[in-house]
Amino acid sequence: TKELWEKTLLFLAPQIKRSNFLTWFQDTAILRVEEKRLTIGVPNPFAKDWLSQKHHAEILLAIQSLLPKIEELEYAVLSGLSRGADNRAVDIKALVADPVKRTRKLPNKQEMRVTSEGVISKFLNHRYKLDNFIIGSSNRLAHAACSAVAGKPGGAYNPLFVYGGVGLGKTHLLQATGNAILKRNSENIVVYVTAERFVNEIVEAIRTRTTAPFKAKYRKVDCLIIDDIQFFANKETTQEEFFHTFNELYDANKQIIISSDRPPRDLAGISDRLLSRFAMGMIVDVQAPDYEMRLAILHEKCREHGTLIPAEVLDFIAFNVHYSVRELEGVLLQAIAQAELEKCTPTVRIVAGILKKLTNQDFLKEIDQGGHRSLIKSSSEVMEVVSDYYKITKSELLGESRRKEIMLPRQVCMYLVRQELGMSYESIGAEFGNRSHTTVIHACDMIIKRLRTNPKMVRDIHAMKKEMGL
């Protein structure tokens, strides 16, 4: 284990600020490896906090590239480590100073594994698993199909064709399926290749007159995964070659999994005979996640990265980033990074700033001014939602009480009617027990001000808008 830990540390060294690295990894060791869990010994509680909170993900990835079965890390304080008494502990300063060790290379995660038949099985990214893929109505079928394929490759769902927009989880699903097949049977040869790379390999094989080994290589696999097949469009030689590979694998009951950014019928530039092959198995799509799923994905990503983010921040991200999961993850990671720089927990304000940079859209203003489309039609519908939300009656809402618990909902309600229905201040005043238009203006200003500083307000307004179908 000492050697394993040394290798891990050498891999981590360039990724972590040197002074931090020297301080926090000094006198650490691998204490135990049990099944999927690995325990790291650290000399004091500070090192434990630092490593587990700041570098968990990097350490796990580094360990996994050496010992793929590890899925969990634990940190244990062992005071003997600090006096160098424990010979498992690594002297980090000596390690990074040793030029021989420093040049030792780790296996690259993308490296190919040579199997007994001399064929490749590419290591897949271990981050992608079927069980860290969040399921919702937009991808349930795709996930189920992949799980079925993982359970019985070459069975009823062959080929499996997964399509959908950018960043919606196709690569994740494909690689996770490959991982699952390898996990069940490590002797299987699973090859994941992007369509682009497949094309390049063919071009290279033709150039170097090595098409025979190329053909042989792909025809020996148990599961062939081709990602982003739309890239084959108008590449006739590639399609021809793939057609033969496909047929051979298919006839031998080997699994083929394909992804594309659009359904087969929209794949222009791909031969009909290939398209008809794609339709022989199962075709499933992944769609953009809805709000609840986006929130669930954010929670999962926080868990994976070992960070805690305030609920209203996650909510804000889930509410405003609609389209792709990749985008969702990107915004979350930027928020974490920025908060780390500023040594604070991420806030709605930080996230709004990030979104603004990304999309050139002023999100705080958006919140302040409400949505554009409106599904609600009357102020009484808004009143109903608001009074329900704050658990007060409609007559309290419209009445004279100046108690805070009543005033705030009343102002929120005026604000929402104004923003969502665009009614004039005068007519809103009239609807709210004949108040003057200045009262309504004041109410709207109050809420807009609150929205700038009060995350709970932002969350409440979001929740109410959601109730109203906005």
- Residue from 26, 171, 379, 387 touching ligand ADP (CB under 6 A): that is 171
Q: Is 125 near Mg ion (CB under 5 A)?
A: no
Q: How many residues bind to ligand ADP according to rule CB under 6 A?
A: 16
The 3-state DSSP composition of the chain as helix, strand, coil percent (nearest 5) reads: 60, 10, 30
Closer residue to ligand ADP, CB minimum distance, 182 or 406:
182
End-to-end CA distance of the chain: 56
Interface with ligand ADP in residues 278-307 (CB under 6 A):
297, 300
DSSP output for 258-327: EEESS-GGG-TTS-HHHHHHHTTSEEEEE----HHHHHHHHHHHHHHHT----HHHHHHHHHH--S-HHH
- Contact between 170 and ligand ADP by CB under 6 A: the answer reads yes
Is the separation of the CB atoms in 403 and 419 below 8 Å?
no
Between 82 and 194, CB nearer to ligand ADP:
194
Question: Whose Cβ is closer to ligand ADP: residue 195's or residue 443's?
Answer: 195
Q: Is 327 in the site for ligand ADP (CB under 6 A)?
A: no
Contact region with ligand ADP (CB under 6 A), list: 163-171, 344-352, 389-397, 399-407 = 163-171
- What DSSP letter does each residue of 145-192 carry, written as one string? HHHHHHHSTTSSS-SEEEEESTTSSHHHHHHHHHHHHHHH-TTS-EEE
For the segment 141-170, give every residue that binds Mg ion (CB under 5 A): 170
SS3 of residue 355 by DSSP: helix
Q: How many CB atoms lie within 10 A of CB 133?
A: 19
By CB under 6 A, which span of 48-56, 70-78, 276-284, 324-332 interacts with ligand ADP?
324-332
Q: How far is the CB of 138 from ligand ADP (least distance, A)?
A: 8
Q: Which is nearer to ligand ADP, 241 or 315 (CB)?
A: 315
Q: What is the DSSP string of 80-122?
A: GGGGT-STTSB-HHHHHH-HHHHTPPPPPTTPEEE-TTS-EEE
Per CB under 6 A, 167 contacts ligand ADP: yes
Q: Give me the least distance between CB of 147 and ligand ADP, in Å please.
A: 13
C-alpha span between 400 and 381 (Å, rounded): 20
Among 172, 410, 418, 450, binds ligand ADP (CB under 6 A): 172
429 is a site residue for ligand ADP (CB under 6 A):
no
296: left (phi over 0), alpha (psi -120 to 50) or beta: alpha
Q: Which does 88 bind (CB under 5 to 8 A by kind): ligand ADP, Mg ion, none?
A: none
Report if residue 258 touches ligand ADP, rule: CB under 6 A. Answer: no
Residue 177 touches ligand ADP, criterion: CB under 6 A:
no
Only segment of 132-140, 179-187, 266-274, 436-444 that touches ligand ADP (CB under 6 A): 132-140
Binding flag, residue 239, Mg ion (CB under 5 A): no
Nearest approach in angstroms of CB 168 to Mg ion is 9
| 326 interacts with, out of Mg ion, ligand ADP, none, CB within 5 to 8 A per kind | ligand ADP
CA distances from 310 to 142, 305, 330, 356 (A): 31, 15, 17, 20
Query: What whole-number distance in Å separates Cα of residue 239 and Cα of residue 242?
Result: 5
Q: Please state, in angstroms and as integers, the Cα–Cα distance from residue 213 to each residue in 102, 219, 246, 311, following that order.
A: 37, 10, 16, 54
Q: Is 193 in the site for ligand ADP (CB under 6 A)?
A: no
177 forms part of the interface with Mg ion (CB under 5 A): no
Cβ-based nearer residue to Mg ion, 179 or 379: 179
Amino acid (one-letter) located at 276: S
Alpha-carbon separation of residue 350 from 299, 308, 314, 458 (angstroms): 18, 15, 12, 14
Should residue 171 be labelled a site residue for Mg ion when binding is judged by CB under 5 A?
Answer: yes
For Cα atoms 315, 57, 127, give the angle at the middle one, nearest 5 degrees.
Answer: 85
Closest to Mg ion by CB, 170 vs 301, is 170
Instruction: Return the bridge partners of 72, or none.
Output: 37
CA distance 384 to 395: 11
Closest separation in Å from C-beta 11 to ligand ADP? 21
Task: State the nearest-atom distance from the C-beta of 165 to ligand ADP, in Å.
Answer: 7
Closest approach of Cβ 121 to ligand ADP, in Å? 21
Q: Is 40 exposed, middle or buried (0-12, 13-18, 19+ CB in 10 A)?
A: buried
CB contact at 8 A, 36 and 25:
no
Q: Pick one of Mg ion, ligand ADP, none as the site partner of residue 167 (Cβ within 5 to 8 A by kind).
A: ligand ADP
- Please, what is the minimum distance in Å from the beta carbon of residue 172 to ligand ADP? 3
Q: Does 325 bind ligand ADP (CB under 6 A)?
A: yes
Question: Which residue number has the CB closest to ligand ADP?
Answer: 169
Q: Of 28-36, 80-88, 161-169, 422-430, which segment contacts ligand ADP by CB under 6 A? A: 161-169
Residues of this chain that interact with Mg ion (CB under 5 A) are 170-171
Residues of this chain that interact with ligand ADP (CB under 6 A) are 133-134, 139, 164, 166-172, 297, 300, 325-326, 329
